[in-house]
Structure 1
Amino acid sequence: MESGNGFYSIDEFRLDAKWLIDPKFLFVGPRIGEGAHAKVFEGKYKNQSVAIKIVQRGDTPEEITKRESRFAREVAMLSRVQHKNLAKFIGACKDPVMVIVTELLLGGTLRKYLLNMRPGCLDRSVAVGFALDIARAVECLHSHGIIHRDLKPENLILTADQKTVKLVDFGLAREESLTEMMTAETGTYRWMAPELYSTVTLRHGEKKHYNHKVDAYSFAIVLWELIHNKLPFEGMSNLQAAYAAAFKNVRPSLENLPEELARILDSCWKEDPNTRPNFSQIIQMLLNYLSSVSPPEPMIPPPIFISKNTVLAPESPGTSSLIAVHNSSGETPRGDIMENKRKGCFFCFSQCY
């Protein structure tokens, strides 16, 4: 249950039985990620490969209350939204420690994928295809009244074939409120909407009024990054980037971009949140762009019969085939090599905690 201040009490928190995992069937493997308040491990749950997020409770009573509330809120939201571009929620438990279990995505973060590709860039159609994945995930959240508040390449994970992007980490997400004040300075400065930032907030930690349009701004910064494969606001620190965007209306350059893509970016990062499009509109704009650059191929009827001398035209691979799987050396790793990299020791959860 969420209180008037936007916090959940973990004592009041009740997880539907179908989402409650049994820790004795949970096995923890190698660590695959780490944030300020949680660590993520590869693991097994009832012979299913999973990602295990273990949330640290904190040291002080204030920290413990805050993190328990965030955990309860994250689980409550994960359990009620399902979409092919959101990491699938498998379950959670709060004792002996706070644990969230989701599907294991083996393609790595979008950040790592782009870094491995530099100085090259994604094919533009592939970049926009990834952007569509992201937009559809956020549209689903918004349809359930949820704001993500932390859209960035680190929170976007690729599937094993690296053809699909899924949005993860609801740690900063929350239900949208039209009347309540919500925490400012939420998210990561470089991708943070300007209305979330203020010098007053830095000093006093005050709350502000804002809405789901903060995600549209962050989405635009991610889309720009997908297209250019450069760090937005390059040469600035995270704080400098947030200050420039909020108080000087600075945005990444739109030079040398097709007019339609430039128009999408410009509309999404408008200074006035109310003039930014919603994600249904963003999806339609992206689809319009893709249809203008990649018209549908004509249908080729299949041959009536096939002889040993017949040469078949290759199946059209679609835009996803333009994605190359890169490792740090630029080579395309074989599946068995990737599998070997993931092998490691797994420990029974109860042995660790």
Structure 2
Amino acid sequence: MSCSYSTSREGPEGDLEQSVLRSVDSEPRSVSQNGSISSPRLSVDDNVLVDPKLLFIGSKIGEGGHGRVFEGRYGDQIVAVKVLNPGRTPEEKAALESRFAREVNMMSRVKHENLVKFLGACNGPLMVIVTELLPGMSLRRYLAGIRPNLLDLHTVIKFALDIARAMECLHAHGIIHRDLKPDNLLLTENQRSVKLADFGLAREESVTEMMTAETGTYRWMAPELYSTVTLRQGEKKHYNNKVDVYSFGIVLWELLTNRMPFEGMSNLQAAYAAAFKNERPSLPEGVSPDLAFIIQSCWVEDPNMRPSFSQVIRMLNTFLFTLSPPAHSLPEPDSDSNSSAASSNHTLTLSSARAKGKFSFIRQLFAAKRTRNS
């Protein structure tokens, strides 16, 4: 049984360190009248607190930059227990408490079958978040385990739809995840579904405090997250929820190719190539033009040209209709079913034709939008 959890951030390295500013604290900050910078204090709703007397913590199953994850038990339920780092100084402790409260409040108000289920939290003596324990593994570990083999194309689209639906739910609640990557995507026990985890870097899009840049993990980060200008309170945010769409495009490419994005580059080299050279991972030969269009529309440089997750879901479903059913799901033919099989094939042909026509219409809409913005 294993569960992967990661909030770590890959740090700057190599000769390009001067080309991209060093990472800044991912906490939103407010500037007081005397010029000092402080983190806003948040509190945890009492309704989401669990009884610490019923919570038992077992073996460690993961560790990240902001805390550790353990297998545990709450009452008679096996759970995952995330214990956040407490902080060493009063300022650091206050910032981490606000981070904890923000994560808990967001997790407690969004529910979806493709989001890891939030069960409750404790705010003393430790900062603890309790969620369901998925007995599968992270998508990153799963892909590494089957490499160099590739996922079946139906599985690629199924996983992509799971992820897109989870992200659509978050965006509908005004939440930007900001750290979408295979480490934070967990497989169910039967390895047929994916659930999104880790709200440690998530932020509400409506928040008025400064939204800091360079948040997340470099290989999956949108180019606009690299900024050479520090935003001040009241200034226009320089990015929105389309940063998650860019990350999704990279994840979809990874599902399709089972390769590391920007392989052969260091973390910072990958970031520099994406942000300042507009480079993207190479699409494999023979990839469907429609699937290539979905990926490329997600990671296009201009955030306004990226689709919403609702549009991504429609495009993925449309593409799925153009695929033949998986071989193992096809019934064995017999002498009495020739006519019905011919009828089914005719229906499938018509459905595929309609799907292709619909996909063409979607492409025309994006082309028209690109023309208006140019």
Normalised by the length of structure 2, the TM-score is 0.74
Pair 1:9 & 2:3 matched: no
String of CA shifts for 1:52-80, please: whole Å, max 9, x gaps. Answer: 00001111222212211110000010010
How big is the shift at 1:165?
0.3
* Equivalent residue letter for 2:265: M
Task: Give the Cα–Cα distance (whole angstroms) in 1 for the partners of residues 160 and 29 of structure 2.
Answer: 34
Equivalent residue for 1:122, pick from 135, 148, 151 = 151
Give the structure 1 partner of residue 335 of structure 2.
none
Give the structure 2 partner of residue 346 of structure 1.
none
Give the structure 2 partner of residue 182 of structure 1.
211
Contact 2:61–2:70 (8 Å) recurs in 1: yes
Aligned-residue sequence identity (percent) comes to 65
Contact 2:29–2:210 (8 Å) recurs in 1: no
Say what the alpha-carbon RMSD is for the aligned residues: 2.3
Secondary structure in structure 2 of the residue aligned to 1:92: strand
Give the structure 1 partner of residue 188 of structure 2.
159
In structure 2, relative to structure 1, the CA distance for the partners of 1:179 and 1:273 (3 Å cut) is farther
Task: Give the Cα–Cα distance (whole angstroms) in 2 for the partners of residues 289 and 82 of structure 1.
Answer: 27
How big is the shift at 1:294?
3.3
Give the structure 2 partner of residue 240 of structure 1.
269
Task: Give the Cα–Cα distance (whole angstroms) in 2 for the partners of residues 179 and 27 of structure 1.
Answer: 38
Give the structure 2 partner of residue 195 of structure 1.
224
Task: Give the Cα–Cα distance (whole angstroms) in 2 for the partners of residues 108 and 3 of structure 1.
Answer: 31
Give the structure 2 partner of residue 75 of structure 1.
104
Contact 1:109–1:154 (8 Å) recurs in 2: yes
Contact 2:28–2:212 (8 Å) recurs in 1: no
In structure 2, relative to structure 1, the CA distance for the partners of 1:179 and 1:270 (3 Å cut) is farther
Give the structure 2 partner of residue 66 of structure 1.
95
Equivalent residue for 2:172, pick from 127, 130, 143 = 143
Correspondence 1:1-353 to 2 at 5 A: 5=30, 8-10=40-42, 13-17=43-47, 19-177=48-206, 180-198=209-227, 209-256=238-285, 257-294=287-324
Task: Give the Cα–Cα distance (whole angstroms) in 1 for the partners of residues 174 and 39 of structure 2.
Answer: 16
Contact 1:74–1:170 (8 Å) recurs in 2: yes
String of CA shifts for 1:200-259, please: whole Å, max 9, x gaps. Answer: 66xxxx995210000000000001001100000000111111111000000011242110
Matched residue count = 292
Give the structure 1 partner of residue 10 of structure 2.
none
How big is the shift at 1:28?
0.8
How big is the shift at 1:295?
5.4
Normalised by the length of structure 1, the TM-score is 0.78
Give the structure 2 partner of residue 306 of structure 1.
none
* Equivalent residue letter for 1:294: S
How big is the shift at 1:30?
1.2
Gaps in structure 2 of 5+ consecutive residues = 1-26, 31-37, 333-374
How big is the shift at 1:197?
1.2
Task: Give the Cα–Cα distance (whole angstroms) in 2 for the partners of residues 210 and 100 of structure 1.
Answer: 28
Task: Give the Cα–Cα distance (whole angstroms) in 2 for the partners of residues 271 and 73 of structure 1.
Answer: 30
How big is the shift at 1:199?
5.1
Secondary structure in structure 2 of the residue aligned to 1:119: coil
How big is the shift at 1:4?
8.1
Give the structure 2 partner of residue 317 of structure 1.
none
Secondary structure in structure 1 of the residue aligned to 2:79: strand
In structure 2, relative to structure 1, the CA distance for the partners of 1:88 and 1:27 (3 Å cut) is same
Gaps in structure 1 of 5+ consecutive residues = 301-353
How big is the shift at 1:177?
3.0
Give the structure 2 partner of residue 304 of structure 1.
none
String of CA shifts for 1:80-131, please: whole Å, max 9, x gaps. Answer: 0000000000000110010000000011100110000011111111011101
Secondary structure in structure 2 of the residue aligned to 1:79: helix
